[in-house]
Structure 1
């Protein structure tokens, strides 16, 4: 069977039209998006820029690694050189994060240290979400999400009400490999396309693969296997190991992947 060709041009135009139509129906002026120096935010911001609508790209460093900052700024220069509708701004949240951290209790014991660090990492994402919505309110714009399909619906690799708190998600139906292909088509700087994916929430150089235990190509393969109804018993070696990682993450992160549950009250109890 012939493998379908990824039609980057058609997909790009489809997303751009979708963004424009959504903004028009919502009655807003444009978009606000956080820039991280990664491929997902680079592709998403370029698609927003191509709508011709005002697009504000926001840097929000919190003890950020210099490599992430420099890649983000390289992308911003790339966008501003091509699109007059793109504006940039900087909200350095490092001091805000430090004050917030000092107001909260630290880990009660060394055994809780990893949980404490993860909780603080998620706090960074939530501070950024709050900041994006401030700028969106000031500019009468929508906050655009940058999550891809494997992150948002596969392993739940995002912060609830952090980078998961957005108005619309233009690339959430694309796998990471497809986002990279779209990045090549959109001429995103190669330094960003080739960089190891990282959420940048820990102030160091740890990658998504370090946290997940598998890279995105491996996880996509596991996602396909799961969608085909396969089980771990059908696989072997590294494929089986990654499949088990995928299934575990997918299971424990359903509270993020699924819509917020609503307790429906029977009508007879309301009378």
Structure 2
């Protein structure tokens, strides 16, 4: 992996895209995780205006502290970076009081987790609109096009995706090259949408290295029955999520009207 050249390529791509769009720069949601850390540094390296936003909703303290540490790192190294915090906890609680919370707890919890992501998306686009910025996505390839591990119209609602052709392992490699703080590099990946310590692996049932392996195997035409033990289990997990989340990865279905009816 030619890390420096990839970094330069992404920065050039971001700069060109922003120039063609005639905007001032980018807004990035900072979570305290590796993806938002790398995406925000790449945006900052363009020299354009970069607004980093913390948007806690009953957030775990470890996530908050890592996010703050990364923003300090950014502002120390890039004069074009500024930040703000929007505490969305009261908004989230008001939403909960306005809707029905009756039903199966697991389903309600997932719906509320997705609501958190969508409140954050709304906040990012508010600031993007008033400051003439683009919302930079933070999703990587295995999340966005492998297992669909993101919220539709939440963290999946962005203007451009600088990391979406990079596997999670490649994002870590770039993060180390960009000197992302060790606290973020070493933290277990977590979407932070449930207000507790559960990791992405806890939710998915497989680690990112395992998912990358399964994605590569599926793309090479392999079948689940060709594997045994843990490999078989991981392949089935990947296959199941890939199929279930196609609605996120594919374009929105359009009901095409036959010409004869026009």
What range is the shorter-chain TM-score in?
over 0.9
Q: Deviations over 1:195-232 (max 9, x none)?
A: 00000000000000000000000000000110110011
Q: Which one of the candidate residues 139, 145, 170 is aligned to 2:131? A: 139
Structure 1 residue 150, shift from structure 2 partner = 0.4
Cα RMSD (Å) = 0.6
Superposition TM-score, scaled by structure 2 size:
0.99
Q: Does residue 234 of the first structure (1) align with residue 226 of the second (2)? A: yes
1:206 to 193, 198, 211: 198
SS in 2 for 1:230: coil
Matched residue pairs, number?
262
Partner of 2:237: 245
- After superposition, the C-alpha distances for 1:23-71 in whole angstroms (9 at most, x for unaligned) are 0111101100100000000000000000000000000000000000000
Q: Does 1:32 align with 2:27?
A: yes
- Distance in 2 (alpha carbons) for counterparts of 1:53 and 1:266: 47
Deviation sequence 1:91-144 (CA, Å, 0-9, x none):
000000000110000123xxx110000000000000000000000011100000
- Equivalent residue for 1:87? 82
Matches of 1:217 and 1:66 in 2, distance apart? Answer: 27
Q: What is the match of residue 174 of structure 1? A: 166
Residue of structure 2 equivalent to 1:114? 106
Q: Which runs of 4+ in 1 moved over 4 A?
A: none
> Where do residues 184-195 of structure 1 align in structure 2 (5 Å cutoff)?
184-195=176-187
1:77 matches 2:72: yes
Q: 207, 210, 224: which one pairs with 1:215?
A: 207
Segments of 5+ residues of structure 1 without an aligned counterpart are 1-5
State how far apart, in whole Å, the 1-side matches of 2:18 and 2:109 are. 37
Match of 1:48 in 2: 43
Aligned to 1:3: none
Show the counterpart of 1:66.
Answer: 61
Structure 2, unmatched stretches of 5+, are: none
TM-score (norm. length: structure 1): 0.96
